[in-house]
Amino acid sequence: MDITELREHLCGQYPDLCPLFSIEFGDGVLLVTSDRLHAAARDLKDLGFDRLGMVTAVDFGEEFELVYRLQSREMRAGIFVKTRVPRDEPRIDSVNDLWAAANWQEREVYDMFGIVFDGHPDLRRILLTDDWVGYPLRKDYENPTIIRRPDYL
Amino acid sequence: MIEPQDTPTDQAAPALPDLDCAPDVVMPEVIYEGDNTIVNIGPSHPSTHGVCRVIVELDGEIVRHAEPVIGHLHRGIEKMAENRTYLQVVPLTDRLDYVGSMYANWAYCRAVERLAGIRVPERAEYIRVIVCELQRIASHMMAIGPAGADTGATSAFMYTFWQRELVVDLFESLCGARLTYNYVRPGGVSFDLPDGWIEKCREFVAQHPAAMLEIDRFLFGNVIFRARTKGIGVLDADDAVSWGASGPVARGSGVDWDLRRDDPYSVYPRFDFSIPVGDNGDVYDRTRVRLWEAIESCRIIGQALDGLAEFEPGTIKADGMPRLLAPRPGDAYDHIESARGSLGVYLVSDGSVRPYRMKVRSPAFCNLALLPLVSEGYTLSDLVVILGSLDPVFGEVDR
Amino acid sequence: MAGVDDLAKALESTPGGGIILTSIDAIADWARGYSLWMMPMGTACCAMELIAASFSKFDFDRHGSIPRPDPRHTDVMVVAGTITHKMAPAVKRLWAQMPDPKWCIAMGNCAVSGGIFYYDTYSVVRGVDEFLPVDIYIAGCPPRPESLQDAILRLREKVRAESISPSRVRAVEGVLPLPGDPLRGETADAAPEGSDV
């Protein structure tokens, strides 16, 4: 299966999301709602995306955007799966049962953004100390030890 | 007092089996539940190759579970990048993977170039390939040498470190720094090659494969090293793919995946090189893959130096680069094959002069996550060797 | 150290004991200065230069500076690299495990002041001197091995001016006497109870 076939297949699978699916620079982008993320991830894994490259999140104020990058060795293609979760209740299904690589990466996202991954076997802080207060990569994170850099550009 | 067993004396004792045929007996595995010892290693321990703490659950000498505790070098580079301009982030990326600074420079610059739509001159691309392959050699020397030191052969470290010093000298004459280069910039590289550098580089490339073959003979042929590393820390290919392992850790297990060939970037498609792949997925194969990669890097550097002559000296920066980059709102991801695996940088821009979010997809982080899996069932002394073979650099693991 | 302190005190109170003390100092400082074994507290990039310093090209063994991983064998802690809040307790504990007399070298900008990680970060200790007494600072990001070589040689000068007598140690120029020391011009009772500095 090459990238064009993949695109047709995904458009058939997700007709409501098809306009959002674009292929740019060889990497596809698939936007899904947060409740369909796990199903979409399972579909993509069955299609041959056997590596989970990256899990990360971006703070967009009212919501967090979760970004998963999957890679297929057979198709030599990468695809981004993006979803949004609300800031006041950041929860999402873990994909740890599909790719073991999600284990540490989701722990890191939890550590930095406080997004809870349901079904994760061992969800606790990974980079910061266990008693750390707050989630540093949120845009509204405040810590009295931070010294702001003077704005010289 | 143990009573002697009641053996009938009138029967002849059974003959012992021949040594050639192994007795068909499986030794029962003895597990003492709840009687395990917890040993803490680190965070400052010479064999953890950095500031890693490993909490090991031992049954006698056998590792039942090894849990790495990371984050002792977490400096918040991703947060700092949100308050720097695009150019000011480049020195921060040097400190990510401090054994191979050029990679993080390059991965970050590629993401910026993709985000801002910058075309890099071909001469700069050739120079980037040359310095990054030199960096791969320098970085692998820091993985092969300690593998010898971990198994008791410190002299191998001396030999590999000498090769690393030669590369560092080349870099020093190129950009003035021994370790944190800040050389690859968005749109090109910071300086052109100085006079006589190409000849020095050719001298290095000419002598390096012979030095590597010497190490191949006296380290990888050494009976103690083979006994300590063959069949130790075995990682099978499915686990390597599922856990997101990349680089020599995955290739040592037979996963034939290298971004330079399989997702080609820059000018790599123009070069002729091969990707060494191991079979067994043990420490020996992972380390030996690194050695052969260093030799292949020499081939790439030689071809790149030949190709460099076609381009006019001085064209090393993209035309019309503004002093302050303010890319379109959007996101971009790019990855390169670093010495440790696929190193990716994900950038989100909101249209201002600073990145809205920078995420570094670190190969060492994903490779280190394998430690509990690959060290289970081996002895405590093997744990040190296994951790070294995963080649973690904690600047990159913790960021 | 208690035995050495008692010896020094007894010698100072004996008439003519000062001459013997000076001779002992000369021998002790000669021995200490030429065998400054390092505790390599390498955490980040500077650790690479620390390794380079003791390997093929620079070879610090010739200065008598051998890196020893066990803090109980060492005289000088070289803090090379960024110290984070998560790492600082471990550094403090290793420093406490080193036997007296001990010295500390802060190698690189991160260990000096936080360096490039001074601003905007939430997890970095801004300089190792926030919790350790530092003798020599080396600037650079990272410093070259030659800088570390220079630091070892300067530390040797400092060591050779010291004495086994606690009161003489603090008489070295530029070193502030500790609380409770007669040179500080206050009575011994003024020292806070339980002060271990």
Q: What value does the mean pLDDT take over residues C100-123?
A: 87
Q: How many domains does chain B have?
A: 1
- Distance of residue A107 Cα from the nearest chain B Cα, in angstroms: 11
How many domains in chain C?
1
B257 is in which domain, residue-wise? 84-359
Q: How far lies B392's CA from each of B126, B363, C47, in Å?
A: 28, 9, 14
User: Is C26 within a domain?
Assistant: no
Q: What is the mean pLDDT of chain C?
A: 79
Q: Is the pTM of this model over 0.95?
A: no
Q: Does A133 reach chain C within 8 Å, measured CB to CB?
A: no
Burial-class residue B74 by CB neighbours within 10 Å (0-12, 13-18, 19+). Answer: buried
Asked whether the beta carbons of residue C122 and residue A136 sit closer than 8 angstroms, the reply is yes
* Chain B positions in Cβ-Cβ contact with residue C94 (cut-off 8 Å): 44
Inform me whether the C-beta atom of residue A4 falls under 8 Å from chain C C-beta atoms. Answer: no
Kindly state whether residue B14 falls inside one of the protein's structural domains: no
Cross-chain residue pair A58–B357, CB shorter than 8 Å: yes
Interface test with B, best of C73, C87, C147 (most B CBs within 10 A): C87
Residues B283/B385, Cβ–Cβ less than 8 Å:
yes
Q: What is the pLDDT of residue B135?
A: 92
Establish if C171 belongs to a structural domain: no
Residue-wise pLDDT for A87-112, tens only, equals 888 889 898 888 888 999 999 999 89
Q: B: neighbours with 3+ CB pairs under 8 Å?
A: A, C
Does A137 sit within 8 Å of B71, measured CB to CB? no
- Chain C interface includes B75 (CB < 8 A): yes
**Any C CB within 8 A of A139 CB:** no
Instruction: Quote the tokens at residue B201.
Output: 């580089």
Select from C86, C119, C123 the Cβ nearest to the Cβ of A148: C119
B13 pLDDT higher than 70: no
Whole-number Å distance between alpha carbons of B184 and B87: 11
Residue listed under structure tokens 């299966």: A1
- Domain presence at residue B2: no
Instruction: Name the band, by pLDDT with cuts 50, 70 and 90, for residue B15.
Output: low
Strand partners, B39: B56
- Whether C55 is covered by a domain: the verdict is yes
Look at residue B177 in the predicted model and tell me its pLDDT.
86
Most confident listed range (A1-10, B376-385, C167-176): B376-385
Tell me the pLDDT tens digit for each residue of B198-241. 899 999 999 999 998 888 888 888 888 888 888 888 888 888 88
pLDDT (tens digit per residue) in A35-71: 888 888 888 888 888 888 889 999 988 889 999 988 8
Question: Is the predicted ipTM greater than 0.90, yes or no?
Answer: no
Whether C94 maps to a domain, the answer reads: yes
Q: How far apart are CA B239 and CA B246, in angstroms?
A: 11
Is residue B169 domain-resident?
yes
| A143 in contact with chain C, both atoms CB, cutoff 8 A | yes
Q: What average pLDDT score do residues C78-91 get? A: 89
What's B226's domain CATH number?
1.10.645.10
Residue C128 lies in a domain: yes
Residue B1's pLDDT is what?
44
Distance CA C197, CA B348 (A): 50
Contacts of A112 in chain C (CB under 8 A): none
How many residues does the structure list for chain C?
Answer: 197
Question: How do residues B177-190 score in pLDDT, each as one tens digit?
Answer: 888 888 898 888 88
pLDDT band, residue C181 (cuts 50/70/90): low
Is residue B365, in this structure, part of any structural domain at all?
A: no
Whether the per-residue pLDDT at B92 is higher than 70: the answer is yes
Alpha carbons C188 and B183: distance in angstroms, whole number: 58
Percent pLDDT > 90 in chain B is 12
In a domain, B131, yes or no: yes
Neighbouring chains of A at 3+ CB pairs under 8 Å are B, C
Cα distances (angstroms) measured from residue B182 to each of B39, B98, B177: 40, 11, 9
- What mean pLDDT is predicted for residues B247-261? 88
Encode pLDDT of B327-340 as tens digits.
Answer: 888 888 888 999 88
Query: If interface means Cβ-Cβ distance under 8 Å, which residues of chain A face chain B?
Result: 25, 27, 50-54, 56, 58-59, 67, 69, 73, 76, 78, 80, 99-101, 103-105, 108, 112, 125-129, 136-137, 141, 148-149, 153
Query: Is the CB of A129 less than 8 angstroms away from the CB of B333?
Result: no
Q: What is the pLDDT of residue B140?
A: 92
Q: State whether the Cα torsion B173-B110-C81-C172 is positive or negative.
A: positive
For C69, C134, C149, the CA distances from C64, given in Å and listed in that order, are 15, 21, 11
Chain A neighbors of B345, CB-CB under 8 A: none
Q: Per-residue pLDDT for B282 more than 80?
A: yes
- DSSP lists the bridge partners of residue B95 as none
d(CA B161, CA C196): 43
Q: Work out the number of other CB atoms within 10 angstroms of the CB of residue C195.
A: 9
> How much is the mean pLDDT over chain B?
84
Domains of chain A: residue spans and CATH: 3-91 (3.30.460.80)
Band of pLDDT at residue B134, cut at 50, 70 and 90: very high
pLDDT at B8: 45
Q: Report residue B37: phi and psi, to 5°.
A: -105, 140
Instruction: Give the residue carrying structure tokens 């292949």.
Output: B296
CA B105/CA A69 separation, integer angstroms: 21
B80 to C91: CB separation less than 8 angstroms, yes or no: no
Band of residue B108 on the pLDDT scale cut at 50, 70, 90:
very high
Q: What is the CATH number of the domain that holds C135?
A: 3.40.50.12280
Residue at token pair 């790149």: B304
Q: Is residue B376 part of a domain?
A: no
